[in-house]
Amino acid sequence: MESFRYAFNGIRILFKNTPNALLELIVAGIAILLGFLLKITGIEWIEICVLIGLVFGLEAVNTAIETLSDFTCKNEFHPDIKKVKDLTAGAVLIAAIVSVVVGIIIFLPKIINLF
């Protein structure tokens, strides 16, 4: 039970300290709302849920690596640490872009069919 408490605290820290996570939460909420309104299929729900989890998971890993890197380097610039931080930020961006593309593939035809 204690490990769950730590994990939920990690999620709280993510949303409290990471502005991008709040933006991603808003976008995820919009995707979920659209899913209900447009009656997406079960497979489409799975795709949306997996991508939401992937983006949040990568954002948490990115935040953890940035925090540890800053602590280790005492907030001093180090080119190798910059590479690591840029790579993890890039991983989040890739997942976010893929999520947007999948969202367009799922939702755009349904929105067009409304008109």
What is the DSSP code (8-state) at residue 74?
A: T
Rounded CA-CA distance 25/14 in Å is 11
The single residue of 44, 59, 66, 76 carrying the catalytic annotation is: 59
Q: Is 76 helix (H, G, I), strand (E, B) or coil?
A: coil
Paired tokens of 22: 């709040």
The answer to whether residue 2 is catalytic is: no
Write out the catalytic residue numbers: 59
